[in-house]
Structure 1
Amino acid sequence: MADLKVSSETPTINDHENDIEGEKTRRDLDLEQAFAEDYPDGGLRAWLVVGGTVASTFSTFGYVNAWGSFQSYYEKTVLADSDASKIAWIGSVQYALILLPGLLTGRMFDLGHFKLPNFFASIILILATFLVAECTKYWHFLLCQGFVIGLSCGVIFGPTMGVVGHWFKRRRATALGITACGSSVGGTIFPIIGSKLIPLVGFPWTMRIIGFILIVTCGFSNLAMSRRLPPKNVKGGLFNFAAFKNAQYSVYAAGSFVAFLGLYTVLTYIDVSATHYGVSPDISFYLLSIANFSSGFGRVITGLVADRTGAVNYIAPMTVIAGILTYAWPFAHSFGAMVVIAILYGFSSGAYVSSFLLPLFEMGEIADIGRRTGMVMSVAALGAVAGPPISGAINSATGGYNAVGYYAGSMIMLAVVLMLITRQLALGRLVGKY
């Protein structure tokens, strides 16, 4: 009888399975509670994270946004035997690869893998910058500056928006607007560094100095940025095709692709076009810095306004202005006229570039934000890699920039139409916050 009593109290396989199931249920409830709780939306730690994201965008998008000054320098010196369209492929690869890895890094971020990829990509970015100083042939620059720097910047930049989303909700647009300022500051400073230092210390040492700057900024971003919410394995795998069954997500992704077919044309060619129209190279390089500096104000204001009006309600009209200015740019033949174009274009285009991912936060749960933004960034990357070379080919075929402006401006306008269709699909009416 004693033996039977002991046997009856021995745990069974069903009991063990029930315990596992209960533990899983409790863990899922804990995750749901973590994602549902109030966001800090401020405080020292949250703003320190934003400071880290500013340093991150400075080192990545800011660095890549300075490509126009490299394009101009390479056309006149070390790559003078290559045509503009061929050289533009280096910058286009950068533009594409800063977006394309978002598919992988976004998914990794959702699963909790952030610190190590960010750290190793930072090291590769710095080493590649030092290697550019030793480049002498086209394929050297394409490999080091195009592929390696572009890919490492993409791994760093990809999760940045997700990090901000972990710490901010009500003031998310403001935080993202401040984050995007880092790219404007970088895009302003790096061209000036290049133009001032190359005559003094030469191109190789200029690149080394940029490398030392990146050691500081990447180091700070690695220390300051961190996740807040627990990792969550949302169903769907690396590329969630089911997301494209949502019409508003699919249309918005298509709009992002079309937008990047046109958006980087002015930033890539405004310096070169200025010298084409007789502006001195000693001052033409300032145009890119002016555009990026003005973009910083556009990005901050977008963040402040979008929290109140909705992202698309603000960035759509601002992107229309960017499209109109793209049409007007080839007809600005004096330095003064080009400065006006640079200021207004930088301000208006900054609204889209800084906030085009913001509507995606409302298209699903925050636990899946890394993958959701990563997929759109990967689609946008295809536009970024094709846009500037297409513009360069049009320039080579026509011998001028008028047709280039018509092409790029039309792509930007089409992107606005797709944004407005997305808004209509989401709201089902003409008036409303979105």
Structure 2
Amino acid sequence: MSAVSEVDAVTTVPEASDLDGPTRAPSADNHDSEKRIERRSSDDNASMSKGKEDGGAHDGEHAHLSFPDGGLRAWLVALGVGCGIMATFGFVNAWGVFQAFYEETMLPDTSPSTIAWIGSVQYALVFIPGLIFGRLFDMGYFKGPLFVASSLLVASTFLVAQCTQFWQLILCQGLAVGFTSGAIFGPMMGILPHWFHKKLGIAYGLTATGSSLGGTLFPIAVRNLISQVGFPWTMRIVGFILVFLLGICNLTVDRRLPPKPRSGPFINLRAFKTPSYAVYSASAFTSFLGLYTVLTYIDVSAAAAGITENFSFYLLPIANAGSLIGRVLGGICADRFGPLNVITPATFVAGIMTYAWPYSGSVGGYVIVAILYGMSSGVYASLVASPIVHMGERWDVGTRVGMSFTLLALGALAGPPISGAIYDATGNYRAVGFYAGSTVELAVVLLLISRHFVLKGKFWGRC
């Protein structure tokens, strides 16, 4: 997540004190030299700015850096990143199948809103550790933390197999699996800019499909394995799958550029003085209050509406398969039109589908909602960090992404339990859909306001 700040640090123009050599008394010659250096730095900064605006091959920001932009080694890194995302965010995206199993079998006397806290803690902790591990990545610490987090994620998954009570599941599956997934997922976002520049969008789009593949395949595997070998052995088999995926990740993924020479603060509250960033961060929090409600409850609500359990279970994999399409297409469109111009209408569609979800009624209705919701929410999830790059100084982009993701995580933490509490109080999912859809559409309003600030009042523009 902090890769852009790292590249900036590597490419920063040296200061005058660095170029003058040993300290010496001021002189007219030295004064003239400083002026020349200042003029050269200004010219370089202007060149960087122009290169960024033009988006051409002569991007000043990367003028004296070379990137593989392909080749066996670079694409092996991309493969490792995709496997890492599949083992973390993809696994967490399969929460819906666990929610249904715990409600129906393991924890039948526990309310859905209480069970939902397990998944909410997972979702939140995928984002929050990035504030810490993203900074460690900036400092050059990557392979060691990656291996430790990978080992603990596998161990936590094996421990889930032994759980039989809610408090055990919240500790092992909620806290342990969530935190270790976040410790891996956060730094994964900073690796690709070490290896790709011109093809970075394509690389991000392809690796982001790991989340959708995991969210599609893990529920199917878990559902079928539980009926054949029981829950404990299901989680052990899932653990071995994670060993395979994380093994590829650890073997192939590595940094290429030197670490950031100077480290700023973990939190930079001054960034919120930038109106576009402050409003965008508020929209991220608001959207996640309702964005994962459909993924959490779509299969349970379909079963309650009379759809057979054998089919309603597949609605979650269908939604995640739709998100795979959305992530790829969203990345392609963002390169052309700008990420904020892409995620705003996509989020609007996700809100409409959230309103429509409780009224689906039939198999065909639920399938259509699952596909359209999966595609639109997938666009948002894959591009949520991109607009932040242009909402402040480039040197602290990692810190700003970390702060926004922390606010986003708080929304993800509270959203599904609030939805579950609304269902407990009303006994139907229509009120749940109205609450979740309204939070998503409120986020769209905030996105439009943020876009207004980014474009400085203009209606049209790439952002």
Do the structures match in fold with TM over 0.5? yes
- State the partner residue of 1:22: none
1:314-336: per-residue Cα shift (whole Å, max 9, x none)?
11111111110000000012222
Runs of 5+ unmatched residues, structure 1: 1-14, 20-24
Matching residue of 1:431: 460
Structure 1 residues 406 and 90, CA gap change in structure 2 (3 angstroms): same
Aligned AA (2:327): R
Q: What SS does the corresponding residue of 1:61 show, helix, strand or coil?
A: helix
In the alignment of these two chains, the number of paired residues is: 410
Query: Which stretch shows the higher mean deviation, 366-375 or 317-326?
Result: 366-375
Matches within 5 A, 1:358-373: 358-364=386-392, 368-373=396-401
- The within-5 A match list for 1:113-132 is 113-132=141-160
Q: Percent identity?
A: 55
RMSD across aligned C-alpha pairs, in angstroms? 2.1
State whether structure 2 residue 32 is matched by structure 1 residue 18: no
Matches within 5 A, 1:308-323: 308-323=336-351
Structure 2 residue matching 1:159: 3-state secondary structure: helix
- Structure-2 residue corresponding to 1:97: 125
Shift of the alpha carbon at 1:16? 11
Tell me, yes or no, if structure 1 residue 402 matches structure 2 residue 430.
yes
The answer to whether residue 218 in structure 2 is matched with residue 190 in structure 1 is yes
Residue 180 of structure 2: which of 143, 148, 152 is its match? 152
> d(CA) in 2 for partners of 1:290 and 1:46?
31
AA aligned opposite 2:459:
L
**1:164 to 2:192 alignment:** yes
User: Amino acid of the residue matched to residue 112 of structure 2?
Assistant: A
1:111 aligned residue: 139
Shift of 1:247: 1.7
Deviations 1:89-131, CA, capped at 9 Å, x for gaps: 0000000000111111111111111111111111000000011
Flag the 1:172–1:421 CA change in 2: closer, same or farther, 3 A.
farther
Residue pairs, 1:23-422, within 5 angstroms = 37-234=65-262, 236-364=264-392, 368-422=396-450
**How far apart are the structure 2 equivalents of 1:362 and 1:43?**
30
Letter in 1 for 2:412: A
* Greater Cα shift, 417-426 or 260-269: 417-426
Structure 1 residue 364 displacement after superposition: 5.0
CA distance in 2, matches of 1:43, 1:419: 38
Deviation at 1:163, TM superposition (A): 1.4
The verdict on how the C-alpha distance between 1:370 and 1:43 changes in structure 2, with shifts beyond 3 A counting, is farther
Once the 2 structures are TM-superposed, how far is the Cα of residue 225 of structure 1 from its aligned partner? 1.7
Letter in 2 for 1:384: A
CA 1:394 to 1:98, structure 2 compared with 1: closer, same or farther past 3 Å?
Answer: same
Question: Judging changes above 3 Å, is the alpha-carbon distance between structure 1 residues 49 and 362 closer, same or farther for their aligned structure 2 residues?
Answer: farther
The alpha carbon displacement at 1:369 in A equals 3.9
Counterpart of 2:93 in structure 1: which amino acid? N
Alpha-carbon distance in structure 1 between the residues aligned to 2:446 and 2:260: 32
Letter in 2 for 1:373: V
Once the two structures are TM-superposed, the CA of residue 368 in structure 1 deviates from its matched residue by 3.9
Aligned-partner residue type, residue 387 of structure 1:
G
Task: Give the Cα–Cα distance (whole angstroms) in 1 for the partners of residues 101 and 184 of structure 2.
Answer: 27
Amino acid at match of 1:223: L
Q: How far apart are the structure 1 equivalents of 2:203 and 2:461?
A: 23
Shift in CA distance, 176/271, structure 1 to aligned 2, threshold 3 Å: same
One-letter amino acid matched to 1:431: W
Asked if the contact 2:139–2:263 (Cα under 8 Å) also holds between the matched residues in 1, the reply is no
Q: Is the 8 A contact 1:49 1:164 kept in 2?
A: yes
Structure 2's unaligned 5+ residue stretches are 1-19, 25-36, 42-47, 49-59
Provide the C-alpha distance between the structure 2 equivalents of 1:413 and 1:51, rounded to a whole number of angstroms: 35
State the distance in 2 between where 1:183 and 1:46 align.
20
Distance 1:130 1:121 in 2: 14
2:107 partner SS: coil
Q: Give the whole-Å Cα distance in 2 for the aligned partners of 1:418 and 1:158.
A: 25
TM-score between the two structures when normalised by the length of structure 2: 0.85
- Alpha-carbon distance between aligned partners in 1 of 2:278 and 2:349, rounded to the nearest angstrom: 24
1:140 is matched by which residue type in structure 2?
Answer: Q
Distance in 2 between the 1:44 and 1:293 partners? 28
Q: What SS is found at the alignment partner of 1:98?
A: helix
TM-score normalized by structure 1? 0.90
- Please say if residues 264 and 396 of structure 2, whose CA atoms lie closer than 8 Å, have aligned partners that are also in contact: no
Separation of aligned partners in 2, 1:166 and 1:364: 22
